[in-house]
Structure 1
Amino acid sequence: MKNKQFITLLGVKNVSQKQGFLMKVTLSIFLFCCLQIAATNTFSQNNVTLNYENKSLELILNQIEKQTDYSFVFNNDEVNIQQKFTINVVNKELGKAIKLLFRNTAIKYQVKNTLIILSKENKNSTILKTAEQKYSISGTVKDATTGETLLGANIVIKDALKGTTTNEYGFYSMTILKGIYVLQISYVGYKNKEIKVDLNNNIKRNFELTLAENALEEVVIKSTNTSKSQLKTILTGVSSLRASEIKKLPAFFGEPDITRAVLTQPGVSTVGEGASGFNVRGGNIDQNLLLLDEAPLYNSSHLWGLFSAINADALKDLKFYKGGIPARFGGRASSVLDMRQKEGSSKIFKAEGGVGLLFSRVTLEGPIKKDKLSFLVSGRRTYFDLFFPLAGEDLKNQKMYFYDLNTKLSWNINDNNTLFLSGYFGKDVMKFKAEEETEYDEQTQTETTEPAGEISFSWNNATTSLRWNHVFSNKLFMNLSTIYSSYKYALAAQNDGPSQTDSGSAFEWTSSVENYIFKPDFTYYLNPETKMRFGIHGTYYRFTPAKITSTEQTIGSIDLSVEKGLEIAPYYELEKKWDKLSMNVGTRYAIFRNLGPYEVASYASGLPKTPSTITGQVKYKSGKTIAKYGGFEPRLSLKYDIDDRKSLKIGYNKMYQYIHLMSNSSAALPFDVWKLSGKHVKPLAVNQYSFGFAFDSENRNYNFSVEGYYKDFKNLVEYVNNADLFINKNIETQLLPANGYAYGSEFSVHKTKGKLTGNLNYTYSVSKRKTVSEFSSENINNGAYFSSNYDKPHIFNATANYKFSDTWTMGTFFTFQSGRPTTIITGRGIYGKNKDETVFTYSDRNKYRMKNTHRLDVSLTYSSEASLHSKWKGSWSFGFYNIYGRKNAFSNYYTFSNNDNQNVGISKTLKKKQFSLFGAPIPFITYNFKF
């Protein structure tokens, strides 16, 4: 019985009146007030059954606490709990039962959320004053071996359903009533810790957790992306992944791949094997916000999509948001992939890496000054280009490779201040050389010489993030970030001249995207049930569409004007938990300006935008606003816990996106053009409605979840037929406005314990759009809805890991996806006096589908990690990508019969063929090590 002089905290839920003022600045005040009222009314909705005759008050109150979520608080000098009472009620409302219990007595009661305060009549002022004495405990949770902060660690009051979790930087804070508590600190793969705390003042307490004895297996095999984690999080459509989990997936050439791990999630697809990026719930690849230590990445892959741009060894944690996206994220319309790099061990030196058939990787981390200053360096490079000279004459002069480098410095100045400086650089290079060739024409008896030449492609991502964590008080935490991000790509060609006096010709095209970001983010911890986030994000965009230098007189030099933009977005989030109901509500208001200097084309009124209808150019000086957009982006997520194994969720998101990727190919290319919203291109607006149900089996071995969603898109970018996007100053003449919708259902089953673990995911989805030009002649398919390029109705993924022994583990991954929509050639026409003009006819856009795709990957891992204390730990991974050699179509192409070339006019004598990127099993073997 909790009958001490001080107040018992178990079950206490208190809401400060100060919240009301802060919430008035958001659109959520009405909903919040309604939910507050609903929470208060739960007192009368709790029923109890009591059958006692001449029993002590202590016994009766204990029984009420067991049957309800309420706790009693009283002063022993005022309430005698040994006094005898008689009560007999069956399934009676709690309020009525208490009134019946204390009728004809001097004992009065007052309800304060889930706290029932007992006192004698007119003598409860002392107890109420005591009940409001609150203090805060705050600090960090870290790995005891490395000093790495643990994200999402749980700090819970023992025997009470209340607590908190650490934020993205390992910080936590709880404000609770004065008292003595036992805190439980836990994190997956680590030993739980219990600490007794006497909270009679504001205190700071840092905790360190040690790895569990079976952590080498548990961290790898136990997935945090289970329904259990779905039960805990308020948001719909959120997945948490660790680098160790990603490494268990069979990977292309044995390289752990972030992008492929995301593709195993329900609701995520790709247009084809080897394609760059991924599509989420009917959205384009540019609608995904990829963050590495808060810096945006514009290209997620190496080698045209074959490998992820991020080295999994450098990552600590990543979260993938596709449903409930918190208000602190903005700028993209479909998803957020939030990747966090390791901070670097502040206690011991560590190294890990791998050596494979095509490339190697190594990661080094350790203290510069123990517990104060640490570093992380992680790099990868392919070396298959080194074998090209051995592959024959055709490849000896070719080059194709990529490399990337992750770095980080972490400086723990003191308990209140920490600095992080992190960077990333990744680059792809492809060079193809052609030797001089001479052809002889027998009819003319002449020779034609093609000079030697070279063509090269390159693209790179680069980011730098400087972040400052500052703890203002036990309740207020700040992260201040200054970020630079760039994406640059280039195409170059060089032809050798026929003589020493003629040096040939050269051509180079470059383009770039740059971001400069400044953002202060604050978190205020009111109490264990209430947390607020607020801040403001400022982003300066600088896009260079094309810059061309050429020695060819027909081309010359071209320098398309730089596009500039500024986006300012304040936001506010409130996270609130009641007994069974939890809420995350907030809003973001983005203000975007497209800025000069720039020249904008004007067009004849009443006519479509075409090069022939341009009437002039409007010049904007530096800093002048060309176009201005903005709007509220409300976010709402609600979770209701039916019991400790079942929960229901609903969510709503409004998102604006002010940047667009211009690509009229089915698979995006590294050289596609990015464009800002402006005078002729409006920002994309998306509304998403989602709901979900999560269920855990009784023994927690199996987790089930189902989610549904509906999205509507406004101001999508579509393209005219045969659009020319390359080096086009007036690219708006190739664009059409479009609206669309997407909906779907996602089903997941996870097995989280035992020798066999894994998950099954199935997604049914639809993604449609239609052009909405005011000129009907421009609209695609006569203005009717058509499938988007990434509309795949059926997707099934299965991942399994089987642990044969302490040293042998097998991993498998199977995927099946519906064929993507495609537009086919229906005929070819040959015209002209010399039959040198060719015109193709096409079907309606995306009227047909390519063949369904499926693939099975298998890996086997042998680990020599005999104990947790051995300094060197090694493992061999080998297996097959696409083990049964399925030829999945990447694209279609067409061939014509030879005699068809003699025909003039439209001909339909053609044969459709498919191009497959991988048509055979691809073996891999990799040695991984740690010390």
Structure 2
Amino acid sequence: MKHLFLSLFFFSTSYIVFAQDSQISGTIEDSETGETLLGATIYSKESEKGTVTNEYGFFSLTIPKGKQTLVVSYLGYQDFIQEINLSSPQKLKIQLKVDNSLLEEVVITTTTNTKSQTRSVIAGSVNLKPKDIKQIPALLGEPDITRSVLTQPGVSSVGEGTSGFNVRGGNIDQNLILLDEAPIYNSSHVWGFFSIFNADAVKDMQLYKGGIPARYGGRASSVLDIRQREGSNKQFKGEGGLGLLFSRLTLEGPIKKDKLSFLASGRRSYFDLFFPLIKSIKGNKVYFYDLNAKLSWNINENNKLFASGYFGADVMKLKFTEENDGDTQNTNSSNTNETIDFQWKNATATLRWNHIFSSKLFMNISGIYSRYNYALSSENSGGGPTGTTASNFTWKSAVENWIIKPDFTLYQNADTKIRFGVNSTLYRFTPAKVTGNEAGINTINFGTEKGLEIAPYVSYDRKWKAFSMNAGLRYSWFGNIGPYKVSFYDPSLPQTVSTITGSKTYKSNKVIKSYKGFEPRLALKYDLSDRKAIKLGYNRMFQYIHLISNTNAALPFDIWKPAGFHIKPLEVNQISAGYAYDTEDSQYNFSIDGYYKNFKNQVEYKNGADLFLNENLETQLLTSNGYSYGVELGAYKTKGKLTGNANYTYSVTKRKTTSSFASENLNNGNYYPSNYDRPHIFNLTTNYKLNKKWSAGAFFTYQTGRPTTYATGKFEIDGNQYFTYSDRNAYRLKDTHRLDLSFTYTPERNKGRKWQGSWVFGVYNAYARKNAFSVYSSLRNNQLKTFQYSVIGAPIPFITYNFKF
């Protein structure tokens, strides 16, 4: 691998070209802001060759010398056409103008659309722009990236108000979520109701769920790559929104015109401001906030520097008070007061340097830091949810990443591109630090675990006349590193605390256990015509970290655990095939994708597993294998008064435990549906332009109810009642469906006024559907009763005022 990278670098710097060819390279920008445009198309009419800009707006194209007509296009912008006489390599800076007719005319007539699947070699990839996100009706009117992802085929969640999303049968921890290349471990606020991403600060978002390029790794099911805006280097600008329970503001502008720009974006909820007005919840606090910042420095035509960061937090303070019963003779009758604090925070920092070695070789080096920490504390005067005696405790946990990633792109010619680099990640896990006044927990400290992942990669893009290929190879090595104490167990018995035979403490930076493997990636596309294409793909992914959570919905304080002595890395292999079709006028885009995935070494939980404050977590875990397959159908309409998309997904996701001890295996070692097995999902998203001022949006979803485990009976021991349960996931909740509506009013633009405003009105869960989230059982009149619990069971209206200046 090392020799391959050196060979590629040597070849690139040698600058070998055919005598009759030459290169044009440069950047594509927004003429008003100077913001680089990701995915803009550059096409030469004479040579019929073309390319697209990379993540930083850079392109390179090798075409024959002589007269060439270049056409540059990008969604929402006027096409740029320029004739050049190419005799030697040329470097261009092309600025595109926003097509204002798209804002003023009722009928959208753009010739460029991003919903076509015929152009991309990789099947199962989805591109979303901020404008797409803002058109989807969302809870309380807050534009939500996570909910926009959930409108796509092959993507689901375990229910309303849950953190994360599931892609093609994978758990939520199998999604690599990146914000300016920094990994995000919890992408939601308020237990999953809202996304942490402020849509006003987002430039572009790409979801990979089929073929995954070789430069991505560390997760097994999907990649959600989110890029923040760079900020205008031309003029000072701002935008934001005022809602019933949220406000947001984004400011951007030049520090030095055309050289140095900034973007700062903030958002805060203010649920807590209303709590003092309601006696029953006075003294409680529930709020969150986000801060995004970015600096962009155009040092010269060959060098750019970017510094960006994100910080967000959730704060919850809940008070529980129980008055005495008024019996002054009863000494046990007293007031009960308990305060529970939840806090979880995300923080990232990214420093990136772009350097252009030549018209053919582009480099980006990134240094990245990411931290996710969470805490739970309780102060109890006696009674309340956490106990019947006076006590207090604080529990803290954290995950940190330090990443170095040099990445090179070699534009060999118009039809060949090679990308290579290495991704090095140092992980630091703090499972639990607990302080308190109760015996047994006042000194709990599980210490820290560390892991090192090193992954060189190379990908090769090649296009022939009708055939295109993206072939990639990633080699990943992961080491679980000390200091850490490892327990050993009697191999003839199941792992329990009572079967521990000894332990060993590994010194600092000592490799406890290592894993390695090749991760091949292949994507093929054959163009049946310029509007029809078939695709095939294969990829293998290794995942070396696991989210340990045996709840149906992940909680903010669930534990992240690296692969190590007792926990193996997850391996996923996926094959996929697809067909894409665009109508002649590109008004409609259609796609169908099929896939099959197998999962090896998934983490599963024993019946009755106790994960909280358990130093020997491996005694509560089982290893499982599984598979998932499905078909996804999508249809998009991109022009006219009515735009939107409809998609349907049929999928099956199953797993089985593989313990060598039959007594441990769930469901007698047979396959059973995973927690997120939803065979049928239908989504419909529409936006209708009523006139120049008003538009209406709607989102409807229908999903098969997810699997669950029911209490099936009861028994009594020493006067205490206990439940018996069915096999794992033997039953299903009721099917779910929901309709959300929105209406947007945009006054006529005043050309002499910079301020522009619009109003969004709507309702979430329009017909008050009570979708079951979970089940719980209790004894009523000595009879076992099972009930279904709904998080949201009523319509929730909203109103938001959005503005730009």
- Indicate the TM-score class for this superposition, using the shorter chain for normalisation: over 0.9
Match of 2:511 in 1: 625
Match of 2:368 in 1: 483
- Please say if residues 226 and 703 of structure 1, whose CA atoms lie closer than 8 Å, have aligned partners that are also in contact: no
Q: Which amino acid aligns with 2:313?
A: K
Indicate whether 1:173 and 2:60 are aligned: yes
Match of 1:906 in 2: none
Q: Which amino acid aligns with 1:509?
A: W
Match of 2:801 in 1: 927
Task: Please list, as runs of the form range in 1=range in 2, the aligned pairs for 1:570-719 lying within 5 A after superposition.
Answer: 570-719=456-605
Among residues 722, 727, 734, which one is paired with 1:851 in the alignment?
734
Deviation at 1:548, TM superposition (A): 0.3
- Please say if residues 596 and 630 of structure 2, whose CA atoms lie closer than 8 Å, have aligned partners that are also in contact: yes
More helix by share: 1
Provide the rounded CA distance (Å) in 2 between the counterparts of 1:207 and 1:533.
24
Provide the rounded CA distance (Å) in 1 between the counterparts of 2:529 and 2:282.
66
Deviation at 1:421, TM superposition (A): 0.5
- Please say if residues 459 and 490 of structure 1, whose CA atoms lie closer than 8 Å, have aligned partners that are also in contact: yes
Provide the rounded CA distance (Å) in 2 between the counterparts of 1:212 and 1:851.
47
Provide the rounded CA distance (Å) in 1 between the counterparts of 2:112 and 2:33.
25
Alpha-carbon distance change, 220 to 350 in structure 1, aligned in 2, over 3 angstroms: farther
Structure 2 residue matching 1:253: 3-state secondary structure: helix
Provide the rounded CA distance (Å) in 2 between the counterparts of 1:490 and 1:604.
35
- Please say if residues 660 and 677 of structure 1, whose CA atoms lie closer than 8 Å, have aligned partners that are also in contact: yes
Structure 1 residue matching 2:200: 3-state secondary structure: helix
- Please say if residues 302 and 357 of structure 2, whose CA atoms lie closer than 8 Å, have aligned partners that are also in contact: yes
Among residues 721, 725, 731, which one is paired with 1:842 in the alignment?
725
- Please say if residues 116 and 582 of structure 2, whose CA atoms lie closer than 8 Å, have aligned partners that are also in contact: no
Alpha-carbon distance change, 147 to 865 in structure 1, aligned in 2, over 3 angstroms: farther
Provide the rounded CA distance (Å) in 2 between the counterparts of 1:160 and 1:806.
41
**Cα displacement string for residues 560-611 of structure 1 (whole angstroms, at most 9, x for unaligned residues):** 0211000000000011011000000010000100000000000012111111
Task: Please list, as runs of the form range in 1=range in 2, the aligned pairs for 1:496-511 lying within 5 A after superposition.
Answer: 496=381, 505-511=391-397
Deviation at 1:656, TM superposition (A): 0.2
TM (norm. structure 1) is: 0.83
**Cα displacement string for residues 447-498 of structure 1 (whole angstroms, at most 9, x for unaligned residues):** 4224433111010110000000001111100110000000000000113599
**Cα displacement string for residues 165-191 of structure 1 (whole angstroms, at most 9, x for unaligned residues):** 100000001122322211111111111
Structure 1 residue matching 2:425: 3-state secondary structure: strand
**Cα displacement string for residues 401-432 of structure 1 (whole angstroms, at most 9, x for unaligned residues):** 00010000001100111110000011001001
Match of 1:911 in 2: 785
**Cα displacement string for residues 679-710 of structure 1 (whole angstroms, at most 9, x for unaligned residues):** 00000000000000001122222111100000
- Please say if residues 110 and 639 of structure 2, whose CA atoms lie closer than 8 Å, have aligned partners that are also in contact: no
Indicate whether 1:494 and 2:368 are aligned: no
Match of 2:11 in 1: none
Match of 1:882 in 2: 765
Provide the rounded CA distance (Å) in 2 between the counterparts of 1:916 and 1:224.
45
Alpha-carbon distance change, 222 to 421 in structure 1, aligned in 2, over 3 angstroms: farther
Match of 1:373 in 2: 260
Alpha-carbon distance change, 422 to 411 in structure 1, aligned in 2, over 3 angstroms: same
Alpha-carbon distance change, 434 to 408 in structure 1, aligned in 2, over 3 angstroms: same
Alpha-carbon distance change, 149 to 550 in structure 1, aligned in 2, over 3 angstroms: same
Match of 1:737 in 2: 623
Structure 2 residue matching 1:286: 3-state secondary structure: helix
Provide the rounded CA distance (Å) in 2 between the counterparts of 1:476 and 1:262.
34
Select the structure with the greater relative contact order (CA < 8 A; seq sep ≥ 6): 2
- Please say if residues 599 and 617 of structure 1, whose CA atoms lie closer than 8 Å, have aligned partners that are also in contact: yes
Task: Please list, as runs of the form range in 1=range in 2, the aligned pairs for 1:382-421 lying within 5 A after superposition.
Answer: 382-392=269-279, 394-421=280-307
Alpha-carbon distance change, 467 to 407 in structure 1, aligned in 2, over 3 angstroms: same
Where structure 2 has 5 or more consecutive residues not aligned to the other structure, the ranges are 9-15, 384-388
Provide the rounded CA distance (Å) in 2 between the counterparts of 1:744 and 1:577.
29
Q: Which amino acid aligns with 1:209?
A: L
**Cα displacement string for residues 39-58 of structure 1 (whole angstroms, at most 9, x for unaligned residues):** xxxxxxxxxxxxxxxxxxxx
Among residues 767, 780, 783, which one is paired with 1:897 in the alignment?
780
Provide the rounded CA distance (Å) in 1 between the counterparts of 2:754 and 2:771.
44
Provide the rounded CA distance (Å) in 2 between the counterparts of 1:476 and 1:701.
37
Deviation at 1:896, TM superposition (A): 1.5
Among residues 387, 396, 409, which one is paired with 1:523 in the alignment?
409
Indicate whether 1:230 and 2:117 are aligned: yes
Structure 2 residue matching 1:448: 3-state secondary structure: coil
**Cα displacement string for residues 827-874 of structure 1 (whole angstroms, at most 9, x for unaligned residues):** 122321xx2x33210001001000000000000000025266641110
Q: Which amino acid aligns with 1:815?
A: T
Q: Which amino acid aligns with 1:912?
A: T
Task: Please list, as runs of the form range in 1=range in 2, the aligned pairs for 1:215-614 lying within 5 A after superposition.
Answer: 215-216=102-103, 229-392=116-279, 394-435=280-321, 437-440=323-326, 445-496=330-381, 505-614=391-500
- Please say if residues 865 and 874 of structure 1, whose CA atoms lie closer than 8 Å, have aligned partners that are also in contact: no
**Cα displacement string for residues 315-338 of structure 1 (whole angstroms, at most 9, x for unaligned residues):** 010100000100000000000000
**Cα displacement string for residues 724-744 of structure 1 (whole angstroms, at most 9, x for unaligned residues):** 111111100000010000000
Alpha-carbon distance change, 223 to 497 in structure 1, aligned in 2, over 3 angstroms: farther
* Greater Cα offset, 888-897 or 527-536: 888-897
- Please say if residues 45 and 71 of structure 2, whose CA atoms lie closer than 8 Å, have aligned partners that are also in contact: yes
Q: Which amino acid aligns with 1:313?
A: D
Alpha-carbon distance change, 413 to 451 in structure 1, aligned in 2, over 3 angstroms: same
Structure 1 vs Structure 2: percent identity of aligned residues? 61
Provide the rounded CA distance (Å) in 2 between the counterparts of 1:742 and 1:300.
24
Match of 1:863 in 2: 746
Among residues 689, 711, 714, which one is paired with 1:828 in the alignment?
714
- Please say if residues 687 and 697 of structure 2, whose CA atoms lie closer than 8 Å, have aligned partners that are also in contact: yes
Q: Which amino acid aligns with 2:772?
A: A
**Cα displacement string for residues 254-313 of structure 1 (whole angstroms, at most 9, x for unaligned residues):** 000000000000000010011110000000000000000000000010000000011010
- Please say if residues 33 and 234 of structure 2, whose CA atoms lie closer than 8 Å, have aligned partners that are also in contact: yes
- Please say if residues 116 and 589 of structure 2, whose CA atoms lie closer than 8 Å, have aligned partners that are also in contact: no
- Please say if residues 566 and 595 of structure 1, whose CA atoms lie closer than 8 Å, have aligned partners that are also in contact: yes
Provide the rounded CA distance (Å) in 1 between the counterparts of 2:447 and 2:659.
27
- Please say if residues 227 and 695 of structure 1, whose CA atoms lie closer than 8 Å, have aligned partners that are also in contact: no
- Please say if residues 230 and 694 of structure 1, whose CA atoms lie closer than 8 Å, have aligned partners that are also in contact: yes
Match of 2:386 in 1: none
Q: Which amino acid aligns with 2:119?
A: K
- Please say if residues 737 and 771 of structure 2, whose CA atoms lie closer than 8 Å, have aligned partners that are also in contact: yes
Deviation at 1:439, TM superposition (A): 3.2
Provide the rounded CA distance (Å) in 2 between the counterparts of 1:549 and 1:211.
57
Provide the rounded CA distance (Å) in 2 between the counterparts of 1:749 and 1:896.
49
Deviation at 1:223, TM superposition (A): 11
TM (norm. structure 2) is: 0.96
Alpha-carbon distance change, 854 to 839 in structure 1, aligned in 2, over 3 angstroms: same
Provide the rounded CA distance (Å) in 2 between the counterparts of 1:153 and 1:830.
69
Match of 1:812 in 2: 698
Provide the rounded CA distance (Å) in 1 between the counterparts of 2:263 and 2:61.
31
Structure 2 residue matching 1:211: 3-state secondary structure: coil
- Please say if residues 102 and 108 of structure 2, whose CA atoms lie closer than 8 Å, have aligned partners that are also in contact: no
Q: Which amino acid aligns with 1:758?
A: G
- Please say if residues 102 and 109 of structure 2, whose CA atoms lie closer than 8 Å, have aligned partners that are also in contact: no
Provide the rounded CA distance (Å) in 1 between the counterparts of 2:696 and 2:526.
38
- Please say if residues 798 and 813 of structure 1, whose CA atoms lie closer than 8 Å, have aligned partners that are also in contact: yes
* Greater Cα offset, 244-253 or 695-704: 695-704
* Greater Cα offset, 811-820 or 186-195: 186-195
